[in-house]
Structure 1
Amino acid sequence: MLSYQHIYHAGNLADVHKHALLACALDYMTRKPKPLSYLETHSGRGLYHLDAAEAVKTGEAEAGIGAVVDWFGADHPYAKALSKVRDQHGAAAYPGSPVLAASLLRREDRLHLAELHPRECEALHEAMFMSGAKVYQQDGFEMAQAVCPPTPRRGLMLIDPSYEIKTDYATIPACIAKLNRKWNVGVIALWYPILTEGSHVPMIDALLARNLPDTLRHEVRFPPARDGHRMVGSGMFFVNAPFGLEDECKRLDQLFAAL
């Protein structure tokens, strides 16, 4: 349960997909002059360095953001976040979701971030020190249920587990439905891997059967990172999807299809 280290995968094509949509969602939500809450259930360490031995070993970042950075013009919110983080931390820095969100949010917004792994949580505290985020060394699903509905009530939650715990696929639909009942105005964004065996399919079918409000599902495919690698795509499922996100989905469809 505590073995997953995202540094091996930071900046890969799944991160590109997830972070591009997350950045667009937050960009839209921060256009209104009302504060919001950002919650994340599986935060990782928040900030990564793509020249670290672990990242270099897999080559996933090189085949990910390293190969497709020109997909995102300077005005794209993902590019803005990446540029801001690299200006502060160096050209090899890469923002995990918490740092990406913090770079796009405003002083009046609030962040609640959970990470169960002790060393990753310690690094998360360090990465988020200046952001005012509340960091929890706690199971992310428990944090989400405890904090919801947050203050401010406007906001977005990212659910982004590693899925090393195979029961996550079965428990997530009920968890999201409960969160939506408690926090009916909240945007809930779920990331999931697309594996060769299709483990995500029953989970998505169960989510669709819940008749959740304003859902948006987006999936992209890409070549495996190396021979035998089981992840061949990335998916995002939104509840109360922000306006205009479908346009970015269509743009990403074309870009990923050309890989």
Structure 2
Amino acid sequence: MLSYQHIYHAGNLADVHKHALLAWMLSYLTRKDKPLSYLETHAGRALYDLAAAEATKTGEAAQGIARVADWFAADDPYMQVMHQTSETHGINAYPGSPLVADLLLRDGDRITLAELHPQERAALQHTLPTAQVHQTDGFALAHAKLPPTPRRGLMLIDPSYEVKSDYDDIPRHIRKYARAWNVGIIALWYPILTSNAHASMLKTLANNHPDALRSEVRFPPARTGHGMVGSGLFVIRPPFGLAERAANLKTRFDQLK
């Protein structure tokens, strides 16, 4: 489906959770002087204007990054990315996950992105002209590209879940990805919904990958009737220290009213 555009939700509390942990993982990986691959299956446009009408319409950024930026020290990888984005694109700019990766990775690292929506893909390529950007189904691209070169690295799977069959299909995809790329970090983001639509998927994932890290945070709905009340990240082969980082972030979320 091509109706989803993340500008309506950019900078919300789920983005804070996801991007803070993604930035930490990429910062950790780049400490070692070896090249790595970054893949993303549902990339979006990479750069968002939080003053745009779409973003202000939902108010999610106001309840998100605008509210909790002081959680992060100036030298935190997530905050470093935020500062770089503001300096380059203005104070209302917010980095999507491809831009988070681009700002933290090095010249010898490789970024491969999939985005099916034609306008989002065009904006993505404009923002990241040196990345490999494919207008194709992200799940199929991952099957075709794994294992990547360099073999060391991370893949983020971040679908909109507008296609309801994703909840059933994702565990099968990830099981194949983990076998094909037996050294890669595979991170799946998922929404925590009042409908509990994610529960069966997570049960299967946990059974298939018992050593994975499951980071979940809860927060008040962004507006009355909004069904998302939390954010989850399921990480296969989590880097050392991620569990502690996720636990510290959860403590912050637990303090939200």
Calculate the TM-score normalised by the size of structure 1.
0.98
In the TM superposition, 1:1-259 aligns within 5 A as 1-129=1-129, 132-211=130-209, 214-259=211-256
TM superposition shift of 1:247: 1.4
The answer on whether the counterparts of 2:209 and 2:236 sit within 8 Å (CA) in structure 1 is no
Q: What letter corresponds to residue 221 of structure 2 in structure 1? A: P
> Which digits, 9 at most, give the CA deviation of each residue in 1:64-96, with x for residues without a partner?
000000001111000001111111000000000
**1:253, CA displacement in angstroms?**
1.4
Which runs of 4 or more aligned residues in structure 1 lie more than 6 Å from their structure 2 counterparts after TM superposition? none
Coordinate RMSD, CA, aligned: 0.7
CA–CA distance in 2 between the matches of 1:208 and 1:54? 36
* Structure 1: gaps (5+ residues): none
Gaps of 5+ in 2: none
How far apart are residue 211 of structure 1 and its match?
A: 3.2
Superposition deviation, residue 209 in structure 1: 1.2
Q: How far off is 1:4 after superposition?
A: 0.3
Kindly provide the amino acid, as one letter, of the partner of residue 224 in structure 1.
P
When the two structures are aligned, how many residues end up with a matched partner?
256
Paired amino acid for 1:54: E
Aligned partner letter, 2:44: G
Provide the C-alpha distance between the structure 1 equivalents of 2:33 and 2:21, rounded to a whole number of angstroms. Answer: 21
Q: How much has 1:109 moved relative to structure 2? A: 0.3
- SS of 2:113's equivalent in the other structure is strand
Q: Normalising to structure 2: TM-score of the pair?
A: 0.99
Aligned sequence identity (%): 62
CA distance in 1, matches of 2:209, 2:74: 37
